[in-house]
């Protein structure tokens, strides 16, 4: 019996019962054999095609079958399932401890990207006071087990560079007092990069992601200055002044109607520019972009484009370069759910994650519509993070259980998918249609590829 599988220990799972639950186990014919999947834990294995005849027998209690060569093969398969934790209820550590805080330091921005939900000019902007941030960091450090990740966000966070330096120094001092660790990352347009930012970021280990939607003609359709000019030239200037630093940043592309069909060339472009990685964020019609339905990418186009990108990854064209629209799904499939807080049934919102808006409002996640029903867990001026997490809205958000949904509750990918982002879905009980379609395509392609070749495993190894 040829079996490829994820060891249950690597999923952070522990078997809590020896009772086999056949209804958790789904099978799917793949090019290289039959895949068995525990739809709740995401653990799986590939069977040799000649063992597929055992599958209908899986639900049968072993002791009811008369001894035969088939029964002994079935016994061996059951042992494998038990070892991998497939079909057996498992205990996994809950994600109920805060570990990540997003700080939207201001809603001001020197750009005016057409799709952006957050870009006031500096005169009308709101700024999160440093004293409030320090209080938030102290509270967050008290809540985390050992390590706090802080994501500097906005608006454009680098407009407040002196604030950032104070915040990072204060955070490091607060963490040291408590014997805990603090890590800073940030998302920026990089248009104002200077010596001081580079030096401080390097000295204090701040990892930045840069937002760019493609090459100049594509990027400059929506990522524009307040005067309407494109912003790509400012990125080029930063790249020529600080090539090493800029290339250490990963790129984040917002996928809209104008670039959805170009995922493969966009990934090639940023690989060839020498950037550290490439990621995507699918357009969300919230805030100012609420009525911008013409910016919504066409679902069929996204799927076609993702498949084209996947083919290139599979061919080895991106070896050594993280293509995150593929690796997110690949990692969840190979390592098992848990590592990515957006691809678990119990997603990060109001659990391991909180987001602080520039006006002090505490949100479960920065993607949640600030004008929608899930907005506003409290305000840092009056409420502690602990109280915000304990409040009614936070509890409602955490109560989302997509395994009760008519589609997800019957889906073999539920364990590795989690039921899509609640902020993109219409409501707490709803699936985000595009997220679901991409997940189905991604897990279908990945499982099929892994059943017939080691290519994706080689790609993953090339990234370490």
Ligand X SMILES: C[S@@+](CC[C@H](N)C(=O)[O-])C[C@H]1O[C@@H](n2cnc3c(N)ncnc32)[C@H](O)[C@@H]1O
Question: Contact positions toward ligand SF4, by CB under 6 A?
Answer: 109, 111-113, 116, 118-119, 154-156, 189, 211, 223, 341-342, 347-349, 353, 365, 367, 407-408, 411, 413-414, 417, 419-423, 431, 436, 439-440
* Closer by beta carbon to ligand SF4, 262 or else 405: 405
* Closer by beta carbon to ligand SF4, 86 or else 358: 358
Residue 284: name its binding partner from ligand SF4, ligand X, none (Cβ under 5 to 8 Å by kind): ligand X
CB of 354 to ligand SF4, least distance (A): 10
Residue 407: name its binding partner from ligand X, ligand SF4, none (Cβ under 5 to 8 Å by kind): ligand SF4
* Closer by beta carbon to ligand X, 115 or else 459: 115
* Closer by beta carbon to ligand SF4, 11 or else 431: 431
* Closer by beta carbon to ligand SF4, 191 or else 268: 191
Residue 408: name its binding partner from ligand SF4, ligand X, none (Cβ under 5 to 8 Å by kind): ligand SF4
* Closer by beta carbon to ligand X, 103 or else 377: 103
Residue 431: name its binding partner from ligand SF4, ligand X, none (Cβ under 5 to 8 Å by kind): ligand SF4
CB of 454 to ligand SF4, least distance (A): 25
Residue 305: name its binding partner from ligand X, ligand SF4, none (Cβ under 5 to 8 Å by kind): none
Give the per-residue SS3 of the chain: CCCEECCHHHHCCEECCCCCCHHHEEEEEECCEEEEEECCCCCEEEECHHHHHHHHHCCCCHHHCCCCHHHHHHHHHHHHHHHHCCCCCEECCCCCCCCEEEEECECECCECCCCCCCCECHHHCCECCHHHHHHHHHHHHHHCCCEEEEEEECCCHHHHHHHHHHHHHHHHHHHHHHCCEEEEEEEECCCCCCHHHHHHHHHCCCEEEEECCCCHHHHHHHCEECCCCECHHHHHHHHHHCHHHHHCCEEEEEECCCCHHHHHHHHHHHHHCCCCEEEEEECCCCHHHCCCHHHCCCHHHHHHHHHHHHHHHHHCCCCCCCEHHHHHHHHHHHHCCCCCCCCCCCCCECCCEEEECCCCEEECCCCCCCCCCCCCCEECCCCCHHHHHHCHHHHHHHCCCHHHCCCHHHCCCHHHHCCCCCCCCCCCCCCCHHHHHHHHHHHHHHHHHHHHCCHHHHHHHHCC
* Closer by beta carbon to ligand X, 252 or else 342: 252
CB of 256 to ligand X, least distance (A): 8
Question: Are 397 and 350 in contact, with CB atoms under 8 Å apart?
Answer: yes
CB of 184 to ligand X, least distance (A): 14
Residue 289: name its binding partner from ligand X, ligand SF4, none (Cβ under 5 to 8 Å by kind): ligand X
CB of 342 to ligand SF4, least distance (A): 3
Residue 198: name its binding partner from ligand X, ligand SF4, none (Cβ under 5 to 8 Å by kind): none
Residue 252: name its binding partner from ligand X, ligand SF4, none (Cβ under 5 to 8 Å by kind): ligand X
* Residue nearest to ligand X according to CB distances in the complex: 211
Q: Which residues pair with 186 in a beta bridge?
A: 152, 208
Q: Which residues bind ligand X (CB under 6 A)?
A: 109, 115-118, 153-154, 156, 187-189, 211, 252, 254, 281, 283-284, 289
Residue 336: name its binding partner from ligand SF4, ligand X, none (Cβ under 5 to 8 Å by kind): none
CB of 191 to ligand X, least distance (A): 9
CB of 188 to ligand SF4, least distance (A): 8
* Closer by beta carbon to ligand X, 313 or else 421: 421
b/e map 190-203, b = 16+ CB within 10 Å: bbebeeebbeebee
């Amino acid at each position: 019996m040829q079996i490829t599988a994820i060891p249950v220990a690597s999923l952070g799972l522990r078997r809590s019962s020896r009772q086999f639950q056949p209804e958790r186990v789904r099978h799917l014919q793949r090019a290289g054999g039959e895949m068995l999947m525990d739809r709740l834990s995401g653990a799986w294995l590939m069977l040799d095609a000649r063992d597929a005849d055992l599958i209908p027998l899986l639900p049968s209690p072993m002791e009811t079958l008369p001894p035969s060569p088939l029964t002994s093969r079935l016994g061996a398969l059951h042992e494998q399932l038990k070892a991998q934790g497939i079909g057996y209820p498992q205990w996994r550590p809950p994600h109920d401890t805060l570990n990540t805080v997003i700080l939207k330091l201001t809603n001001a921005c020197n750009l005016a990207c057409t799709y952006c939900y957050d870009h006031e000019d500096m005169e009308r902007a709101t700024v999160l006071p440093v004293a409030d941030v320090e209080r938030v960091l102290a509270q967050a450090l008290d809540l985390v087990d050992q390590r706090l990740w802080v994501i500097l966000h906005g608006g454009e966070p680098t407009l407040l560079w002196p604030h950032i330096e104070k915040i990072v120094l204060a955070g490091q001092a607060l963490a040291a007092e408590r014997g805990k660790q603090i890590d800073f990352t940030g998302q920026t347009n990089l248009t104002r990069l200077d010596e001081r930012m580079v030096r401080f970021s390097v000295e204090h280990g701040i990892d930045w992601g840069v937002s760019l939607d493609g090459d100049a003609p594509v990027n400059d359709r929506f990522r524009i200055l307040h005067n309407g000019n494109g912003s790509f030239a400012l990125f080029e200037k930063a790249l020529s002044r600080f090539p090493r630093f800029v290339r250490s940043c990963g790129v984040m592309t917002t996928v809209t109607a104008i670039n959805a069909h170009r995922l493969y060339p966009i990934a090639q472009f940023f690989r060839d520019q020498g950037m550290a990685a490439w990621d995507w964020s699918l357009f969300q019609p919230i805030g100012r972009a609420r009525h911008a339905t013409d910016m919504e990418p066409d679902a069929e186009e996204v799927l076609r484009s993702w498949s084209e990108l996947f083919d290139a990854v599979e061919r080895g064209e991106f070896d050594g370069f993280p293509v995150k629209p593929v690796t997110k799904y690949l990692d969840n499939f190979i390592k098992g759910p848990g590592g990515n807080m957006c691809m678990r049934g119990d997603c990060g919102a109001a659990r391991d994650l909180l987001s602080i808006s520039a006006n002090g409002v505490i949100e479960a996640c920065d993607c949640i519509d600030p004008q929608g029903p899930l907005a506003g867990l409290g305000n840092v001026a009056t409420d502690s993070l602990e109280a915000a997490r304990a409040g009614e809205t936070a509890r409602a958000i955490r109560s989302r259980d997509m395994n009760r949904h008519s589609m997800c509750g019957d889906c073999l990918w539920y364990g590795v998918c989690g039921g899509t982002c609640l902020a993109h879905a219409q409501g707490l009980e709803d699936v985000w249609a595009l997220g679901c379609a991409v997940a189905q395509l991604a897990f279908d392609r990945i499982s099929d590829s892994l059943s017939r070749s080691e290519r994706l495993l080689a790609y993953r190894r090339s990234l370490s």
